[in-house]
């Protein structure tokens, strides 16, 4: 089966090796006999609803975010319609911030968001850095942990009724206070966790692939299990670092 991925601004938003998430998705799809077709969608490119099964946008610094913000605003309708039609989405760090309603940087400049996620972000004076461990429940009654690395000054404040990606076990999360990290709207996920995220959390990669396949072909497929011993070890190392780090939320 073919899965079409729209990679937004790979030439701008590619900090902290977040493009490695695409490599993980591609390899895990290929191991199961599926083809991942990755299409770059950058400045000036059209994004038509219905073309993609999964959208991906990575992280960047304030400069890169400012360079793409207005172009992303022009694509807002296409992104929102794609998500509303059931495509999956993963937004990381700087890309995550731009998919909220607004982002105010450290110098007071306001960047428009496109409103996929119900939150606003304001940059703080200090950065929140270190390993993070979350508890997630993307499927009812199924609790899993998500391990990653955060490095952001933005304080992201979700609406009261918004659904986070996960609850913070160790680390800072969205704002260092609420105990919530990331955001979820249906099959769309946003998070500050990068480094990249998916190599140490293969279950999340498979969840995204499953949702993308469901969008393309209907129904929710059962993916064949893979031997993930190395991935599990990477997850465990990151989780241990998060649990023993100084500062942050406990």
Domains of the chain with CATH codes: 2-244 (3.40.50.880)
Give the pLDDT confidence score for residue 43 in this predicted structure. Answer: 98
Q: 65, 58, 67, 66: which is closest to 91 by C-alpha?
A: 58
Residue 238 tokens, joined: 């990151």
Strands 183-185 and 188-191, bridge-based pairing: antiparallel
Confidence of residue 67 (pLDDT cuts 50, 70, 90): very high
Residue 4 tokens, joined: 């079409």
Q: How far is CA 134 from the centre of its chain?
A: 14
Confidence of residue 247 (pLDDT cuts 50, 70, 90): very low
Give the pLDDT confidence score for residue 16 in this predicted structure. Answer: 83
Q: 130, 148, 133, 243: which is closest to 205 by C-alpha?
A: 148
Across residues 208-222, what is the average pLDDT? 92
Give the chain's mean pLDDT: 95
Q: Could you give the percent of the chain with pLDDT greater than 70? A: 98
- Whole-model pTM: value is 0.96
Give the pLDDT confidence score for residue 227 in this predicted structure. Answer: 96
- Given a cut of 50, whether residue 130 has pLDDT beyond it is yes
Give the pLDDT confidence score for residue 15 in this predicted structure. Answer: 87
Q: Judge contact between 89 and 83, C-beta under 8 A.
A: yes
- Given a cut of 90, whether residue 220 has pLDDT beyond it is no
- Given a cut of 70, whether residue 240 has pLDDT beyond it is yes
Residues in CB range of 208: below 8 A, 6 or more apart: 25, 54, 88, 90, 189
Confidence of residue 149 (pLDDT cuts 50, 70, 90): very high
Across residues 140-153, what is the average pLDDT? 96
Active site residues: 93, 194
At 201, is the secondary structure helix, strand, or coil? Answer: coil
* pLDDT tens track for 74-124: 999 999 999 999 999 999 999 999 999 999 998 899 999 999 999 999 999
Give the pLDDT confidence score for residue 156 in this predicted structure. Answer: 98
Residues in CB range of 62: below 8 A, 6 or more apart: 105, 106, 123
């Amino acid at each position: 089966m073919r899965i079409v991925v729209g990679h937004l601004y790979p030439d701008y938003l590619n900090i902290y090796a977040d493009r490695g998430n695409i490599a993980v998705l591609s390899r895990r799809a290929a191991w199961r006999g599926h083809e991942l077709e990755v299409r770059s969608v950058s400045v000036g490119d059209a994004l038509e609803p219905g073309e993609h099964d999964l959208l991906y946008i990575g992280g960047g610094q304030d400069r890169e975010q400012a360079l793409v913000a207005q172009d992303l605003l022009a694509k807002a309708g296409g992104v929102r319609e794609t998500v509303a039609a059931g495509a999956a989405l993963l937004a990381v760090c700087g890309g995550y911030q731009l998919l909220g309603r607004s982002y105010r940087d450290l110098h007071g400049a306001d960047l428009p968001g496109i409103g996929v996620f119900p939150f606003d972000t304001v940059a703080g004076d200090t950065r929140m850095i270190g390993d993070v461990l979350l508890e997630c429940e993307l499927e009812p009654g199924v609790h899993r942990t998500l391990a990653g690395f955060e490095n952001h000054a933005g304080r992201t404040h979700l609406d009261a009724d918004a659904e986070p990606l996960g609850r913070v076990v160790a680390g800072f999360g969205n704002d260092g206070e609420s105990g919530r990290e990331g955001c979820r709207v249906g099959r769309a996920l946003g998070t500050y966790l990068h480094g990249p995220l998916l190599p140490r959390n293969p279950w999340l990669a498979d969840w995204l692939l499953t949702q993308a396949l469901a969008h393309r072909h209907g129904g929710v497929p059962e993916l064949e299990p893979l031997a993930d011993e190395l991935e599990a070890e990477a997850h465990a190392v990151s989780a241990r670092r998060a649990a023993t780090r100084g500062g942050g939320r406990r």
